[in-house]
Chain A
């Protein structure tokens, strides 16, 4: 479905990604982890077609990605910057429908189920500034789903939320990905979040040597679904994965 073939990205003299290769299957939930500055956001942006690769190729369904395409939706960490403050909740979701050229009279029927799915129905007429952080992020997710993408590329989507909201949203995203049969690439610096959510975890290496920006390890996560905030995290295998991946986070 999604593939990186020897992707390298250089900004000026700085090499961010080196020869990154992996492939992601349809309906797979893959988490990208690594310490800050390891290039995981850059990798996600390269997959989305937002950041051009210096060498190598990013592929979607076998075709090279040259720029953004609607089959690939991106959910940014900073929801405050990604939502249109002058549009209501419903208006922000409608944006994705407008982009797809869907007639305005069909909008309400398409927006309502999405808002229901993300528990925003009661807030349809509010502006983003009137919502909590968690609600704003759910709105961004609703909008990306309205785009009807095949792949959701999520860049530390819960990075600036409190722990409880975060766990709620983790379970929601896991459920959505399964119900909606989407492929998800999920960037996080939180190892436990990556193991909890992922079918596979790709760890990127950091540091000042030439290992930095390479794939350090790819681990398949063999934990039963649906995952449970308590049960899964106490599973011996969970702890084992955590031990195994921990050293890649610069410790």
Chain B
């Protein structure tokens, strides 16, 4: 059912482009960019670029998840710590992640780390904030059960607090995964000469509208696949719900 709308749009697009109603210089037309996309897939360039973007975004998400969950659990469990960190968080969070591109370039040069660092910064906040609130709203009864059974605090965090917060943390990770791809591609478009973002810049500069469109749609497909994968994982891990 969900495929009806895109198929309709692509068909109308194709017809309008063939009739000359919209300019093929910018809009290309679906039949062309499917061919361009298939070619790029076949010669391996698209996959290589995808791998680069994917590696940077994955690295960003992993770093943000580790830091965000660890710090979020700590701040969620200990109210005074959260109060102490509040100002820092409120001051850092509004910094647009793309504003870090020059700094990251200075630090890491043209590399995967450069994109990953910027994207990790962007991904960190939703994970941190969701984890803090999830850990804070854990039922005290569960913590009491942990104490009554005789677990020390670190075990209570690992066996009770984190699993209880997991469903909410997962929401944060899914949001962050989308952000990771968006920001990684952005860094590639702006400066970093690698990945899908750079591919689009290059094809635009050489006036290959079909390849720009093909890459753009491919990014959409990738984003959809990532979300689908995470949903599957979530259903597996949270099958008790």
> Which A residues contact B (CB, under 8 angstroms)?
48, 50, 67-70, 72-74, 76, 78, 81-82, 84-87, 95-96, 98-100, 127-129, 147
Most A-side CB within 10 Å, residue of B150, B151, B160, B166? B150
Tell me if A48 and B148 are in contact (CB < 8 A).
yes
Within 8 A of A (CB), among B122-152: 139, 141-142, 144-145, 147-151
> Can you name 6 A-B residue pairings with CB atoms under 8 Å?
A86-B163, A98-B159, A99-B151, A100-B150, A127-B239, A128-B240
Q: A68-B147, A82-B142, A87-B240 are in contact. List 9 more A-B contacts (CB 8 A).
A: A72-B148, A73-B148, A81-B139, A86-B164, A96-B149, A98-B151, A99-B151, A129-B240, A129-B241
Per-residue A-contact encoding for B179-208, CB less than 8 Å = 1, 0 else: 000000000000000000000000000000
Tell me if A95 and B148 are in contact (CB < 8 A).
no
Tell me if A50 and B144 are in contact (CB < 8 A).
yes
Residues of B within 8 A of A127 (CB): 239-240
Bound-state Cα–Cα, A50 to B149, Å:
12
Tell me if A50 and B166 are in contact (CB < 8 A).
no
Bound-state Cα–Cα, A68 to B153, Å:
13
CB-nearest residue of chain A to B166: A86
Bound-state Cα–Cα, A82 to B66, Å:
28
Tell me if A70 and B159 are in contact (CB < 8 A).
no
Interface majority SS (helix, strand, loop, mixed), chain B: helix
The distance from the CB of B168 to the nearest CB of chain A, in whole angstroms, is: 13
Tell me if A50 and B240 are in contact (CB < 8 A).
no
Question: With A50-B144, A129-B240, A129-B241 in contact, do A84 and B163 touch (Cβ < 8 Å)?
Answer: yes
Tell me if A68 and B150 are in contact (CB < 8 A).
yes
Residues of A within 8 A of B142 (CB): 81-82, 84
Tell me if A99 and B150 are in contact (CB < 8 A).
yes
Residues of B within 8 A of A81 (CB): 139, 141-142
The distance from the CB of B46 to the nearest CB of chain A, in whole angstroms, is: 40
The distance from the CB of A92 to the nearest CB of chain B, in whole angstroms, is: 10
The distance from the CB of A79 to the nearest CB of chain B, in whole angstroms, is: 10
Tell me if A147 and B149 are in contact (CB < 8 A).
yes
Bound-state Cα–Cα, A76 to B159, Å:
19
The distance from the CB of B14 to the nearest CB of chain A, in whole angstroms, is: 49
CB-nearest residue of chain A to B167: A86
The distance from the CB of B134 to the nearest CB of chain A, in whole angstroms, is: 14
CB-nearest residue of chain A to B152: A99
Tell me if B149 and A95 are in contact (CB < 8 A).
yes
Tell me if A69 and B141 are in contact (CB < 8 A).
no
CB-nearest residue of chain A to B163: A86
Bound-state Cα–Cα, A96 to B149, Å:
6
Residues of A within 8 A of B151 (CB): 98-99
Most B-side CB within 10 Å, residue of A50, A96, A99? A99
CB-nearest residue of chain A to B147: A68
Residues of B within 8 A of A67 (CB): 147
Residues of A within 8 A of B155 (CB): 99
Bound-state Cα–Cα, A129 to B239, Å:
11
Tell me if B148 and A86 are in contact (CB < 8 A).
no
Which residue of the partner chain, among A70, A85, A86, A128, contacts B150 with CB atoms under 8 Å? A70
Which residue of the partner chain, among B141, B150, B159, contacts A82 with CB atoms under 8 Å? B141
Tell me if A86 and B149 are in contact (CB < 8 A).
no
Question: With A50-B144, A76-B141, A129-B240 in contact, do A84 and B150 touch (Cβ < 8 Å)?
Answer: no
Residues of A within 8 A of B166 (CB): 86
Tell me if B148 and A74 are in contact (CB < 8 A).
yes
Bound-state Cα–Cα, A164 to B208, Å:
76
Bound-state Cα–Cα, A48 to B141, Å:
14
Tell me if B149 and A99 are in contact (CB < 8 A).
yes
Residues of B within 8 A of A96 (CB): 149
The distance from the CB of A104 to the nearest CB of chain B, in whole angstroms, is: 14
Tell me if A70 and B163 are in contact (CB < 8 A).
no
Residues of B within 8 A of A76 (CB): 141, 145
Bound-state Cα–Cα, A205 to B163, Å:
41
Bound-state Cα–Cα, A87 to B155, Å:
15
Residues of A within 8 A of B239 (CB): 127
Tell me if B148 and A50 are in contact (CB < 8 A).
yes
Bound-state Cα–Cα, A225 to B239, Å:
45
